[in-house]
């Protein structure tokens, strides 16, 4: 099928969320403004997530999956999905359903003009610890990246696939997707979207991995920004 848009969903131990996730993705696919498929990436789950994903993909034509042999992390899941996407546009959605797939429709109108469009969860439905750590983390990242995003970690984004596939991913770099598009001289935009409470399962984040880990990643990003190679070929002799 001539799909135009791939929704990437990294999954790690989300068996309780998956039935509703599948329902919402199924519903969105049939109402989306462009031809849409879903690519689920199981990141070495230790629960029944991988089996549920395989069962759903086997019975639904618009779904496919990658199953990791062990847990490699969200950055690796995104990198693998970027590498296996062949549509001109791709999107990213978390499996916990704190953002909904239908809200891609708020971002898609801007993708012709911009190379990455990201959500801004202005009214967060998280615990106060998670809200504060995210606010601090965003502030620190802005100092390093100067992308001036309010919510760079928002798990609802769309990118042009050509830009996504040129991002040199490393562990934790999913927090820097807007900055990495800017490194390619791309254009980015932030759009307000709704945010919803987690309905099932448990958050994988705490203060250490929401602040201390990302702080270390900022130094890796600074090194990459100085070393990043970006070029365009004007002519080619065949």
How confident is the model over 93-133, as pLDDT tens digits? 999 888 999 999 999 999 999 999 999 887 665 555 555 55
Q: Domain locations in the chain? A: 5-125+148-205
pLDDT for 40: 98
Domain 5-125+148-205 belongs to what architecture?
A: Alpha-Beta Complex (3.90)
| 28 Cβ neighbours under 8 A, 6+ residues apart | 36, 100, 101, 102, 104
Q: pLDDT tier at 237 (50, 70, 90 boundaries)?
A: confident
pLDDT for 227: 67
- 0.85 exceeded by pTM: no
How confident is the model over 191-205, as pLDDT tens digits? 999 888 766 655 555
pLDDT for 123: 67
Indicate the average pLDDT of the chain.
84
**How far apart are the C-alpha atoms of 54 and 112, rounded to whole Å?**
33
**How far apart are the C-alpha atoms of 140 and 212, rounded to whole Å?**
11
Q: pLDDT tier at 167 (50, 70, 90 boundaries)?
A: confident
pLDDT for 22: 97
**What are the two backbone dihedrals, phi and then psi, of residue 33, each rounded to the nearest 5 degrees?**
-75, -15
**What are the two backbone dihedrals, phi and then psi, of residue 57, each rounded to the nearest 5 degrees?**
-65, -35
Cα-based torsion angle of the residue sequence 28, 193, 161, 222 in order, rounded to the nearest 10 degrees? -150
């Amino acid at each position: 099928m001539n799909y135009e848009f791939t929704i990437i969903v990294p999954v790690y131990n989300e068996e309780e969320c998956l039935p509703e996730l599948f329902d919402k993705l199924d519903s969105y696919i049939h109402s989306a403004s462009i031809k849409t498929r879903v690519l689920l990436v199981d990141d070495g789950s230790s629960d029944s997530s991988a089996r549920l994903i395989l069962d759903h993909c086997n019975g639904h034509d618009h779904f496919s999956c990658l199953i990791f042999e062990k847990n490699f992390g969200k950055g690796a899941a995104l990198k693998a999905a970027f590498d296996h996407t062949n549509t001109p546009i791709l999107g990213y959605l978390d499996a916990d359903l704190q953002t909904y797939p239908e809200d891609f429709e708020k971002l898609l109108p801007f993708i012709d003009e911009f190379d990455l469009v990201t959500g801004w969860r202005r009214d967060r439905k998280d615990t106060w610890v998670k809200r504060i750590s995210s606010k601090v983390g965003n502030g620190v990242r802005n100092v390093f990246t100067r992308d001036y995003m309010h919510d760079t970690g928002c798990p609802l984004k769309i990118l042009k696939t050509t830009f996504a596939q040129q991002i040199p991913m490393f562990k934790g770099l999913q927090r820097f997707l807007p900055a990495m598009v800017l490194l390619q001289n791309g254009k980015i935009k932030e759009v307000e979207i709704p945010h919803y409470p987690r309905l099932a399962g448990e958050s994988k984040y705490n203060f250490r991995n929401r602040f201390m880990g990302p702080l270390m990643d900022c130094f890796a990003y600074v090194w990459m920004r100085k070393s990043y190679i970006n070029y365009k070929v004007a002519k080619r002799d065949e």
